[in-house]
Structure 1
Amino acid sequence: MAMALEDGSQAAGSSLAQDMKGLIGRYTDKTFDWDAFPASRDFPDLARCQMRYIGGGGSPKVNDPATLPAGKFTFSMVHQPPGKFAASHSHEVVEHFLILEGVLTVGWVWGDEVIEAKLAPGDLVLNKLGRPHGFRNDGVEPVLMQITVGSGKPQPPVYVCHPRDKGIEAARRFGAGAGPDKIIPFNPDSSDFRQRELAQYLVRYRDRVPVWHKAGFASMTYIGEQAAPPQHYRMEMIHLSKGAGIKAYSRDVEDVYFVLDGTVTVGWEENGKTVEQRLGTRDLIFNPAGRAHYFRNDGPADARFTMVVGSPAPETVAFTAA
């Protein structure tokens, strides 16, 4: 019989337990990096910091020993103080912003015109491959967001309006012209093709309809069918009722759990051995391809976590209650 260790893992298989610990990113073990983005140096208006969990996440610091190696995607958090902005740029892959705290203004760029949308906690925008975009904190509190880039080794961003080239005021507008009609508020009901394009990639938390599974949890799709279109990966938000749990499953690609609130117990199985670790708020675990794993809520309250899967294909796992 497996004997519980003080850290919550199971003693059946020290190698498996060490492997599991090595693929967990603990929020309390990490530090925000205020020098993650070299293009922001010497520009106080661009100040923001990054906490890396998986890969560089848009930062060139891909060899950070405190960061897990990336597979199909990167995973990080970014903190942006009030009044600061990120200059408009594009990527060769998709990336998403999931707002955890504060209100973020995101701008998508078409020439000298920009459509701006405000995102509240729980909202997401999937920035389309090649679409120039920037973001700004117009609020009174800091913004904290989770960012995923759809490649393990993304190329450096291509800036379209950086203050070193166009000046601070133009860059703050993401390159929009000075006229009042050059910055257009987001309107999902508009017939403008640009508005319609952005509307496909912007997901409101308030509009998500939970799907309750017989295994005792609810899922809300953010990137996938009937949500933002998946291209490199997909993502769901999981609401796990207290006392609920599922039997082990495996995939042919990795998946990642990132706890938003509450606690989640995660287990790995191999050759009849089981190890477990409990994750707290803003802890993350990387579950490798082929690894049998499960989740359970042993806490006193319901928990929420995001699940990012390294494939755009629809879900094939049939989750079964434990």
Structure 2
Amino acid sequence: MTTNKDVEKVQVNPKDVYERLVRRQDVPVNWDAFPDIKKGTFRYMGTLASTDKSIPPNLTESDISFGIIEAGPGPQSQLHDHEIEEIFIPLDGLWEVSWGPNGEEKVTIGPLDLISVPPNILRAFANVGASTARLMVIQSSATPNAGAGLFEDPTRLTNVTDKNN
């Protein structure tokens, strides 16, 4: 078991934390991040939905990715998996998260509920509400190969099914 004594302490100048500030007005919506469904992605940090560094903000020095998806009613992803943990927290609306070999396990979550899908579990999500809603997404790794890079090359989506839940 790792203890606090085992973790190497990183020396950071407190003033450097300002460089890690991301203001909402500096986060443009990316409507082209996903090839399968039309949805807006706000990427605050990490590589969520894209490894393209031209999409600001470019705050990638982290062990997590964080973003918000905005979408109308309907399926927002195909059944797929990642080598990372993925956490979903609705900011508004109702979202259905499904998982399992055929997406047979399902739960509907509402504002500020949370579900964490472990690595290597097939998952999908859908806005099951009546209007546009936002879903916060946190991924346990900011490295492109762990999640985001999959969506830039559809041929790497080996575990995607044809079924949208």
Q: Same fold (TM over 0.5)?
A: yes
Question: CA contact under 8 A between 1:105 and 1:138: conserved in structure 2?
Answer: yes
Write the distance in 1 (CA, Å) between the matches of 2:141 and 2:51. Answer: 14
Alignment match, 2:65: 74
CA distance in 2, matches of 1:115, 1:133: 9
- State the shift of 1:48 in Å: 1.1
Aligned match of 1:146: 136
The residue matched to 1:21 in structure 2 has which SS?
helix
Mapped pair 1:35 → 2:32: yes
Choose from 89, 112, 116 the match for 1:122.
112
Three-state SS of the structure 2 residue aligned to 1:59 is coil
Change in 2 beyond 3 A, CA 1:102/1:160: same
Distance 1:85 1:64, change over 3 A: closer
Tell which structure's C-alpha radius of gyration is larger: 1
Matched residues, number:
144
Give me the identity figure in percent. 23
RMSD: 2.2
Displacement of 1:131? 0.3
Q: How big is the shift at 1:148?
A: 1.1
Write 1 or 2 for the structure with the bigger share of strand. Answer: 1
- TM-aligned CA distance change 1:105 to 1:65, over 3 Å: closer
Secondary structure (helix, strand or coil) at the match of 2:79 reads strand
Unaligned runs of 5+ in 2: 1-12, 151-156
Moved segments of 4+, more than 6 Å: none
Deviation at 1:85, TM superposition (A): 2.4
* Aligned-partner Cα distance in 2 for 1:113–1:56: 25
Q: Displacement of 1:52 after TM fit? A: 0.9
Q: What is the CA-CA distance between 1:143 and the residue it aligns to? A: 2.2
Letter of the 2:120 counterpart: G
1:160 aligns with 2:159: yes
**AA of the residue aligned to 2:47:** G
The whole-number CA distance in structure 2 between the counterparts of 1:143 and 1:150 is 23
8 A Cα contact 1:36 1:61, kept in partner:
no
Q: TM-score, normalised by structure 2?
A: 0.76
> For residues 65 and 83 of structure 1, do their structure 2 counterparts lie closer, same or farther at Cα, with a shift above 3 Å needed?
closer
Q: Deviations over 1:268-320 (max 9, x none)?
A: xxxxxxxxxxxxxxxxxxxxxxxxxxxxxxxxxxxxxxxxxxxxxxxxxxxxx
Distance in 2 between residues matched to 1:135 and 1:159, nearest whole Å: 18
Aligned equivalents of 1:123, 1:16: Cα separation in 2: 33
Q: 1:29 offset after TM fit, Å?
A: 2.0
Matching residue's letter, 1:114: E
Name the amino acid aligned to 1:117. Answer: V
Quick check: 1:88–1:159 contact (8 Å CA) kept in 2?
no
Give the secondary structure class of the aligned counterpart of 2:74.
coil
Taking the aligned partners of 2:129 and 2:56, their CA distance within structure 1 comes to: 34
Does 1 or 2 have the higher relative contact order (CA < 8 Å, sep 6+)? Answer: 2
Maintained 8 Å contact 1:34/1:47: yes
Could you say what secondary structure the match of 1:101 adopts?
coil
Q: CA deviation at 1:113?
A: 5.5
**1:28–1:151 distance in 2 versus 1, CA, 3 Å:** same
